[in-house]
Amino acid sequence: MEAAAREELDMEVMKPLIGEQNSDSISDDEHENELLPVEKHYQLDNQEGITFVQTLTHLLKGNIGTGLLGLPLAIKNAGIVLGPISLVLIGVVSLHCMHILVRCSHHLCQRLKKTSLGYSDTVSYAMEVGPLNCLQKRVSWGRCIVDFFLVITQLGFCSVYVVFLAENVKQVHEGFLENRIVPMNDTSTSGLSEKKSVDLRIYMLCFLPFIILLVFIRDLKNLSMLSFLANISMAVSLVIIYQYIVRDISDPRKLPPVADWKKYPLFFGTAIFAFEGIGVVLPLENRMRETQRFTQALNIGMGIVMTLYITLATLGYLRFGDEIKGSITLNLPQEIWLYQSVKILYSFGIFVTYSIQYYVPAEIIIPAITSKVQQKWKLFCEFMVRTLLVCSTCAVAVLIPHLDLVISFVGAVSSSTLALILPPLVEILTFYKENLSVWMILKDIFIAVIGVVGFLTGTYVTVEEIIYPAATVLVNTTENPFEDLNTTHLLTGFN
């Protein structure tokens, strides 16, 4: 029961991401009447706030997902030496940007006498107090920009989940059930061969009705027990993955220290996608009981995340070398039930997580649409919008049935904007009257430029790989002949 209660609290943490959307509807006078004294900023009732350990747990869950499993391939795209070093640097910069966001939120709350601010409100108020009149007149743009990229990011995660589910279930079904069970019955090899050629996109479409039913659950509290089981299954899967990859590590001297520079933008997109937790930083800080300890929780949580990322990414690439795939689970042996169970367990976790990631864009988009229809049609309209949003994520997955490219694309387009570009710019706008040092301004501009360059090059290279995949079609082949049917080869169907 305690575990279920913690999961319900986890669902509640998502709501501040949405609650700030309606903040504009409350006048400043009404806000002033509800404000706590400035010196009591963020001090919540003990029964409402979350503890240090819960905050740490949420930070870990907010950053660990499918991006983690794609990092070994990212290391391949950067090189066995350059990859881990770059991953550390991106992690440090991402953590610094999280601290920037918290610091700016605190300062704006003190300055404007607000009790708490979310990401989009922090950006919009920073534009309001900034030095540029053109930004002050377009404060609402800041909120819209954050909301837009937040929606793109979360729906992008959902598209990644669809590809992940399809690839892993396809491999379990075709690699284990047919290769092990069907031959025992001496069935014809021609029929077996026919079954093995089932297109990956068919599996995606098979998942579609189940995902639609899942997102029809409107209150995330009803998913609390499923979410708890999903977290357990993903944790067990990671333990088994580590157990397998550490048993046979190849000589790192056999791998290139630095990969082709044209592949590096793919590394950047995947790496920044993996550090996907910046959207939950302020909601968690707003709900924490001892807010003065949030910095400590953030440092510890991201330290654990970075350690997990670097070790799994490096060891995974050392274990599988050039045969590494878009998700390390796809490299696990198909003939051993223990490693097949990893794919099933992690897929279950990702299936449940889909509804949690879907919650944010749904709650941003649905109210804006249902507010324009009559009351008797609101519920029907909501379910239609939910269905269309799920179909849109499935459509992206069908059009780009390649896990690593979807991850890299989402990371380059939206994650880089939220994690690297906006925070340093917000810091300049927020503290411009505080006699910012030249070093701090240059530092913020440098980080923002890295984000912009990563956005442009990552998007360009990923789109090029999607449109012209012929050069990379044979990259992920393995010795197993049945693996030739994986998604790397299905892309040729679009040519």
| 282-303 pLDDT tens trace | 888 888 888 888 999 999 999 9
Q: How many CB atoms are located within 10 Å of the residue 417 CB? A: 22
Residue 408: exposure state from Cβ atoms within 10 A (0-12, 13-18, ≥19): buried
Predicted TM-score (pTM) of the model is 0.78
Mean per-residue pLDDT, 142-164: 89
Mean pLDDT of the chain: 80
* Token pair of 338 as six digits: 């223990």
> Percentage of residues in the chain with pLDDT exceeding 70?
80
- Torsion angle of the four alpha carbons 78, 81, 86, 92, in this order, in degrees rounded to the nearest 10: 150
pLDDT band at 191 (very low <50, low <70, confident <90, very high): very low
Closest CA to 95 of 295, 342, 264: 295
Mean pLDDT of 459-464: 90
Q: Which of 333, 492, 269 is nearest to 401 (CA)?
A: 492
**Three-state DSSP class for 50?**
strand
The pLDDT, as a whole number, for residue 207 is: 93
For 122-161, letters b (16+ CB in 10 Å) and e give bbbbbbbbbeeeebeeebeebbebbbebbbbbbbbbbbbb
Q: Is pLDDT above 80 for 18?
A: no
Q: What is the mean pLDDT of residues 59-71?
A: 83
Q: For 34-53, how does the pLDDT look when each residue is reduced to its tens digit (9 = 90+)?
A: 333 333 343 444 456 788 88
